[in-house]
Amino acid sequence: MKDLKYLAAMSLPLSAIISLYFKGSLSYFTIVYAFVLIPILEMLLPHDTSNQEGAEREEKAKSKLYDWMLYLNVPIVFGLLSYTLWDISHHTYSPYEIIGLVFSIGIVLGTNGINVAHELGHRQATFERHLGKLLLLPSHYMHFYIEHNFGHHANAATKEDPATAQYNQTVYSFWFTSVFRQYFSAWGLQAKLLKGGKHSFLSIKNDMLWYSIFQITYLAVVFLVFGPIGLLFAFCTGIVGFLLLETVNYIEHYGLSRKKMPSGRYERVREVHSWNSNHVMGRIVLYELTRHSDHHYKSSKKYQILDYHDISPQMPYGYPTSMVLSFLPPLWFKLMNPRIPSEMKVRAT
């Protein structure tokens, strides 16, 4: 039964269904659930630093149950989004209700969409990577696949990485620098991939070009089927989704940096270059994203067997709570800056 604990991630779409069904002030219920109730549960529930070992680890690594719990997010995300678009285009909503639903559905796009896409994007099976790219579509962030896999994992915890927040950088500044730098970095990485394969810009191998076509087509179809209100809703929920991702990016590597060697190359990525959290609630609703240190150490590992490492820097709270704290920069800096290793602070100045 404990293998089904990751179904707790479905509580986020369920909270959005509550927002959609009851409307009114409950249109904002997903916000309250994600950033008030889950943080409270994180503080009440104990930490779990245990790792999988031996036969149990092998069994979990091979079990398809954990894969199907990821795949389940595809129909849920697109089903919920499609129904909401239909509902708001056929019924009258107050502006404040629309705003509440934008945030509620946007949170689902960020957690059950982009977060699951991140996990699937690291898989070896082509169809799993395609599912991951599909989940990035409604958040207008398909370029994340290229930038994350070919850029971020090579450059994490360096100034060359758009997705690494610098020491004393606010989350609001980071949103702008990361969003734009990642997009242009993805095009640069795509150009290198095309050049390496001796393909032209207009080649069918140009994934960034395909991503642009798919995303424009998605918004065009939404407009034709659901009208202007549907288009505006889809556009705004996508923004909420990718800003949620960027907030997670912000807390994952904030202030951490790798040493530059005499050769000009950086030391390899180690467990000390990502913030880790063992708060149980955040772990299961985010499919172990909070064990980010081990993910960077071995990115091919499936989420259910990610390990805790003693040397990894530990967050005082879980990821959901930390996201809330990041919205208050003075409090965030007060809590996090003392936890950053002194040698990394020196490299940041």
Calculate mean pLDDT across residues 4-12: 95
Q: Give the three-class secondary structure for 47.
A: strand
Q: What percent of the chain has pLDDT over 90?
A: 85
Per-residue model confidence (pLDDT) at position 349: 67
pLDDT exceeds 90 at position 56: no
265-279 burial, b for 16+ CB within 10 Å, e for fewer?
ebeebebbbbbbbbb
Which of 254, 290, 250 lies closest to 273 in space, CA to CA? 254
Please report how many Cα atoms fall inside a 13 Å half-sphere around the Cα of residue 29, on the Cβ side. Answer: 17
pLDDT for 46 equals 83
**Pick the residue with more confidence: 230 or 4?**
230
pLDDT, average across residues 157-170: 95
Pick the closest to residue 284 from 320, 311, 314, 260 (CA basis): 320
Q: For residue 221, what are the CA distances in angstroms to 24, 197, 226, 240?
A: 28, 33, 8, 20
Average pLDDT over residues 134-149: 97
Instruction: Name every residue whose Cβ is closer than 8 Å to that of residue 23 and which is 6 or more positions away in sequence.
Output: 93, 97
Q: If you average pLDDT over every residue of the chain, what do you get? A: 94
Q: Which domain covers residue 285, as residue numbers? A: 2-348
The predicted model gives 203-230 an average pLDDT of: 97
Helices marked H in 137-206 — which ranges?
Answer: 144-146, 153-155, 171-196
In 3D space, the residue among 195, 147, 124 whose CA is nearest the CA of residue 155 turns out to be 147
The DSSP bridge partners found for residue 143 are none
CA angle, 279 then 153 then 181, to 5°? 100
- Reference 301, options 38, 22, 60; nearest CA is 60
Task: Give the model's confidence band at 1: pLDDT under 50 very low, under 70 low, under 90 confident, else very high.
Answer: low
CA distance 107 to 118: 15
21 burial (CB, 10 Å; 0-12 / 13-18 / 19+) is exposed
Query: What is d(CA 34, CA 12) in angstroms, rounded to the nearest whole number?
Result: 7
Q: State yes or no: pLDDT of 333 exceeds 90.
A: yes
Number of structural domains (the chain) is 1
Averaged pLDDT for residues 81-92: 96
Selected residue with higher pLDDT from 156 and 299: 156
Q: What is the pLDDT of residue 299?
A: 84
